[in-house]
Amino acid sequence: MKLTVFHSLSLAALISVGAVAVKADEAMDGRMTYELFEHTVEHADLAGCPPEFDPDTQFCRMTLADERAHVFVFGLEGDQPLQAVKSYELSEGLPAF
């Protein structure tokens, strides 16, 4: 799998931006949704997720920042909330899912 290298926000910056955006919209109940993520964070769509996540109920996106790959796991139901973030050191190469 070939992945285009791109610049993205550091994880700390992403969390800060998400927190501000969530605070601005109280209807989201403090959750990061895929719609917000899609429009505000540069990312790569992944064909699959790490093995511990269920492909029937979840999907994943990845960012590259601070010499790490960050995999964001979203639920397929409802407003597709963020359910987990898992990070990998890039010194071992990109993770393959």
Please write the tens of the pLDDT for every residue from 41-94. Answer: 999 999 999 999 999 999 999 999 999 999 999 999 999 999 999 999 999 888
In the predicted structure, residue 9 carries a pLDDT above the cut 80: no
Q: Characterize 3-32 residue by residue with b for buried, 16 or more Cβ atoms within 10 angstroms of its Cβ, and e for exposed.
A: eeeeebbeeeebeeebeebbeeeeebeeeb
Torsion of CA 28, 34, 39, 44, to 10 degrees: 160
When comparing pLDDT for 25 and 91, which is higher?
91
In the predicted structure, residue 29 carries a pLDDT above the cut 70: no
Q: For the residues 13-35, what does the mean pLDDT come to?
A: 60
pLDDT for res 65: 93
